[in-house]
């Protein structure tokens, strides 16, 4: 089954054209023309979402769960076509797209299960105490309620799981919030076929057609208009620090500011402690290389910086990592822009004083080969630019002279999505000293693993202190992410007949 994109927006259940067009830039296969959204298109989409909220926001959890299940079914019904156009546009291999599609449908069904159980409502009830002295207490019931239309921005590196029907959309729809998606220009055809699946589910479930809308475009104007629309109540975003911060500032400057839930990236530091380094340094080094190169390093959880104690064991570790990286061939990057930024980052690091180049090579446009650099803790501490993310299969190995130096580095780190400890039992005291620092720095702390691969589960936190994300109290993965699009309402002495449906 081959999918031929219409190239249009989906607004209020209708496929809508625009005069302005942009062309997709697939890694392989045919390019297609797509409409560029306008302020009028954004207004129509958001207005439709607001109109849908008056029914969808007051629907039962069961009806919304059935809708989420129906979306998952419709995506699976288009599996072959989704994989085909997704591979063409992103350059990702078939196995990756198949796996990501499973993750996408899996999280839709997970949210359906979650809201059927009702845990997201955080129900609290303080019964009336009419005889309490000196004053009686009224009957108080707390329920989490949906906030209204939500804007979602598709991510470049996950054309399915973090995009049109990804985690932000699933969480918002589960909460009872209609969604307006700003499609990502890197994979507009993939976005359209997923929108088609959601539209089919909307029709099947007899919902208001404005419950889901897709506006395409390759300009910043579309995103700016979306986050500034007065009817949008919150924004979900996965992308670059620069782009996310610009949208965050627009949300804050609105006459009525709204929350911006941005996941902006991270270098995900890994600390290899001495006993673990001694016992299994080569294995850790090879695992680090595999994690760095997974998906051409285009994961926000890519472990870009590793810290080890200086000495012969560090030399062995760097040799093992360099050998493993040297065996990895070129990989296709998601976009020409991402590839250019990666090549620029490589050059900047190669020209940085105090860094030794261990692995590097030339690569063709829109491809990347691994890069590895080595430096000392003092150079790292004195050069803040070394803590900045380079999106791709690139790692920096930093050697530390003392435990105190390692602690100093941990304290100086900015907010991260993840921090990792590689340790054995003999490292417990050292790890115990690091843990209070690392839990303040990251949303997820790992021991003896690698952060690439984010489990979709009740306990997962995918977020962290700024600049990893713009809201350290939120997660964009897992069932807790639904709380971003709910707000608590207390109902005082309200009879059951007037309480919201659950």
Residues assigned a catalytic role: 263, 300
What residues pair up with 395 in beta bridges, in sequence order?
A: 372
Listed in sequence order, the residues at least 6 apart from 335 whose beta carbon sits closer than 8 Å to its beta carbon are 25, 156, 186, 366
Q: How far apart, in Å, are the Cα atoms of 94 and each of 159, 229, 296, 407?
A: 13, 38, 15, 43
Residue 23: Cβ within 10 Å count: 13
Listed in sequence order, the residues at least 6 apart from 125 whose beta carbon sits closer than 8 Å to its beta carbon are 139, 140, 141, 142
Report the alpha-carbon distance of residue 315 to residue 96 in Å, rounded: 34
Is-contact 191 212, C-beta < 8 A?
Answer: no
| Diameter over CA atoms, the chain | 80
Instruction: Check residue 226 and give left, alpha or beta (phi > 0: left; psi -120 to 50: alpha).
Output: alpha
Which 8-state DSSP code applies to residue 327? T
Residue 32: Cβ within 10 Å count: 21
Which 8-state DSSP code applies to residue 56? H
Q: What share of the chain is helix, strand, coil (3-state, %, to 5)?
A: 45, 20, 35
Q: Which pair of structure tokens corresponds to residue 307?
A: 């810290």
Residue 156: Cβ within 10 Å count: 22
Quick one: which of 187, 181, 240, 205 has its CA closest to 68?
Answer: 205
């Amino acid at each position: 089954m081959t999918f031929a994109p219409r190239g249009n927006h989906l607004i209020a259940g209708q496929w809508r054209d625009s005069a302005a067009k942009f062309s997709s830039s697939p890694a392989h296969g045919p390019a297609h023309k797509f409409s560029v959204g306008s302020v009028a298109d954004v207004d129509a989409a958001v207005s439709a979402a607001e109109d849908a909220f008056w029914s969808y926001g007051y629907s039962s959890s069961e009806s919304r769960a059935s809708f989420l299940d129906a979306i998952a079914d419709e995506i699976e019904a288009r599996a072959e076509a989704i994989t085909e156009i997704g591979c063409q546009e992103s350059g990702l291999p078939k196995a990756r797209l198949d796996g990501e599609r499973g993750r996408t449908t899996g999280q839709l069904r997970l949210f359906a299960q979650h809201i059927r159980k009702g845990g997201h409502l955080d129900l609290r009830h303080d019964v009336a105490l009419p005889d309490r002295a000196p004053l009686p207490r009224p009957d108080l019931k707390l329920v989490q309620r949906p906030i209204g239309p939500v804007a979602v921005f598709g991510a470049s590196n996950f054309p399915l799981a973090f995009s049109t029907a990804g985690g932000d959309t699933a969480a918002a729809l589960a909460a009872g919030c209609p969604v307006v998606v700003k499609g990502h220009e890197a994979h507009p055809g993939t976005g359209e076929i997923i929108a088609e699946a959601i539209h089919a589910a909307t029709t099947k479930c007899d919902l208001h057609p404005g419950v889901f809308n897709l506006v395409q475009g390759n300009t910043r104007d579309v995103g700016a208009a979306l986050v500034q629309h007065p009817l949008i109540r919150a924004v979900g975003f996965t992308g670059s620090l620069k782009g996310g911060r610009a949208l965050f500032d627009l949300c804050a400057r609105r006459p009525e500011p709204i929350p911006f839930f941005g996941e902006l990236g991270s270098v995900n530091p890994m600390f290899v402690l001495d006993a673990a380094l001694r016992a299994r340094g080569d294995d850790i080094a090879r695992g680090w290389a595999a994690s760095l190169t997974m998906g051409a390093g285009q994961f926000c959880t890519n472990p870009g910086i590793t810290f080890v104690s200086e000495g012969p064991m560090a030399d062995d570790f760097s040799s093992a990592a360099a050998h493993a990286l040297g065996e990895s061939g070129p990989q296709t990057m998601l976009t020409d822009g991402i590839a250019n930024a990666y090549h620029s980052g490589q050059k900047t690091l190669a020209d940085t004083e105090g860094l030794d180049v261990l692995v590097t090579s030339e690569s063709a446009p829109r491809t990347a080969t691994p890069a590895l650099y080595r430096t000392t803790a003092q150079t790292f501490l004195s050069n803040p630019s070394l803590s900045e993310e380079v999106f791709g299969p690139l790692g920096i190995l930093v050697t530390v002279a003392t435990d105190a130096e390692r602690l100093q580095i941990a304290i100086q780190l900015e907010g991260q999505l993840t921090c990792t400890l590689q340790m054995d039992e003999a490292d417990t005291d050292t790890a115990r000293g690091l843990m209070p620092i690392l839990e303040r720095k990251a949303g997820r702390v790992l021991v003896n693993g690698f952060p690439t691969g984010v489990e979709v589960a009740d306990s997962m936190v995918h977020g962290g202190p700024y600049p990893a994300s713009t809201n350290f109290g939120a997660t964009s993965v897992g069932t807790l992410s639904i709380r971003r699009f709910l707000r608590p309402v207390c109902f005082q002495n309200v009879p059951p007949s007037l309480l919201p449906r659950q």
